[in-house]
Structure 1
Amino acid sequence: MNEKVENLILEHLRVIRADVSSLKEEVSGIRAEMRSMKQHMAAFMSHETAQDGDIAAMKLQLERIGKRLDIVE
Structure 2
Amino acid sequence: MSEAPDNLVLEHLRAIRGQTGKMADMMHTMSVEMTAIRQHLAGVVTIQEHDHGDIAGIKARLDRIETRPDLVD
Aligned in 2, Cα 1:48/1:5: closer, same or farther, shift over 3 Å?
same
Q: Which runs of 5+ in 1 are unaligned?
A: none
Aligned in 2, Cα 1:14/1:64: closer, same or farther, shift over 3 Å?
same
TM-score of the superposed pair, with normalisation by structure 2:
0.91
| Letter of the structure 1 residue corresponding to residue 65 of structure 2 | I
Q: Which runs of 5+ in 2 are unaligned?
A: none
Question: Which structure is higher in RCO with an 8 Å CA cutoff and minimum separation 6?
Answer: 1
Aligned in 2, Cα 1:58/1:14: closer, same or farther, shift over 3 Å?
same
Report the aligned-residue RMSD. Answer: 1.7
Deviant stretches of 4+, over 6 Å: none
Residue by residue over 1:24-62, the C-alpha shift from the partner in whole angstroms, topping out at 9 and shown as x without a partner, is 000100111111001000100010001001000100001
* Structure 1 match to 2:36: 36
Structure 2: how far apart are the matches of 1:4 and 1:57?
A: 79
Q: Is the 8 A contact 1:63 1:72 kept in 2?
A: no
Give the number of equivalent residue pairs: 73
Pairing 1:27–2:27 present: yes
Structure 2: how far apart are the matches of 1:2 and 1:63?
A: 90
Aligned in 2, Cα 1:72/1:18: closer, same or farther, shift over 3 Å?
farther
TM-score of the superposed pair, with normalisation by structure 1:
0.91
What SS is found at the alignment partner of 2:71? coil
